[in-house]
Amino acid sequence: MKTKSGIALIFLLLLADFVGAQENQFQKFSLKEAVDFAKKSNYTLQNNKLDVLSSQKKVNEIMAMGLPQVNATGNLINNIKIPVQVVPNFLQSVMGGPDNLELAFSRPFTSGFTLSANQLLFDGTFFLGLKASKEFVNLSQLNFSRTKIETEVNVSKAYYLCLLLDANEEMMGKNIESLNKTKSDLEQFYKNGFSEKVDVDRLTLQLSNLSLQKDKIHDQRRIAAMVLKLQMGMPVSDSIMLTDGLEDLYQTSKTMAIEEKANYSTRIEYKMLKQQLSLSELDKRRYAVGYLPSLFLFGNIQRNAFGDNLGSLYDKFYPGTSVGLSMSLPIFDGLKKHAQTQQARIGITKTENDIKNFENVIDQQVFQSKSSYLRSSQQIEIQRGNLKLAQEIYERMDLKYKNGVGSSLELTTAQTDLENARTNFLTTVYEYFVAEMELRKSLGLIN
């Protein structure tokens, strides 16, 4: 008996640990908390952050080219057959002999060690390349900011969609509950002979359709929640609860001030185009300074050894040291740099055209999103009134039917109108939030 009690206790402890682990994976988020979580955990954002870090390391790589370059080399050579040099016999007048002498100027074994250093003193392309790499870091940082904005927009839209489906499912559940009660009363009337079978069948069909729609909305809600978690960068298998409500978010958003015109410089895409223009101008300058000379300082320290065999090779070293300057001056490259400069100028003109075009795009986006925002903000109250009116009509039809002065057709028609009014209202609410988000984005108010 004690053994069974012990096993039961262990089972309960394990079950408690499992439930606790499941609760640890259950997280609650407001809209702001969801956006903040995404900015830390979204995988695309993390990769963009790594791109910024990579571009910073690229600057270090280019800077290293301007620092001293030190290299050490060594060799060991076995001259199996020593090359022979033929020279005039300069001793012939004194000692006689042949007209030419055959001389070998090496030993069977040679070895050498060299320590060399080079320092860049001047190269116009290097300094411009270093400046361009730093500008590229700025472009990477702007791209990271752009992805943060896109992440906030995507997370917000997914959050709104989840709330919309929650509200839709809740309202439909209440209507099904009310209609079930009416159907129960109607079945009792039918049993007592006060109603017809077709009336019961009509309500049964209506309830079946509503139940199917509710199940479909429930599945859509689960999918929308997974999309939200995917955008946030959290495991899609974890549970999530949304703490904000549609009505609270709507009341908060109504206080947003609408600017008349967009400030181009606040749009991150505009900043990126300006940054690209700076890079194109640096590219053009890089080809221009390519005609300037390059100057290097170099130095070498050598240690050489010679021997008839390996055993005596390193008995003595012969040192050698040298320092000097080297200069490279491009004279004619077949007009290569000229063609590259022309290409860079064309690239600058194209970027300038892109900037002008994007200014028009911003104006169009602001106009469109503002129109959608104002339209949806006006229609949302109208649709709210329509929903309230449809609810009152349905309740009156339900009451009339229960009192025997209304038909089941009138009741199902009122139910259908109520469903349409609910769908129209919730759709308008979602359109409002999407339009509000797009307006903030087009005005450059999302950072």
pLDDT tens, residue by residue, 265-324 = 999 999 999 999 999 999 898 888 888 899 999 999 999 999 888 888 888 999 999 999
pLDDT band at residue 5 under the 50/70/90 scheme: low
CA–CA separation, 242 vs 160, rounded Å?
10
> Between residues 230 and 413, which one has the greater pLDDT?
230
Fold category of 26-65+123-293+334-442 in CATH:
Outer membrane efflux proteins (OEP) (1.20.1600)
Residue 139, both tokens: 């472009």
For the residues 429-447, what does the mean pLDDT come to? 90
* C-alpha of 344 from chain center: 29
pLDDT over 90, % of the chain: 47
CA–CA separation, 439 vs 423, rounded Å?
24
Rg (Cα) of the chain, in Å, rounded? 41
pLDDT over 70, % of the chain: 91
Q: Residue 222 has what pLDDT?
A: 93
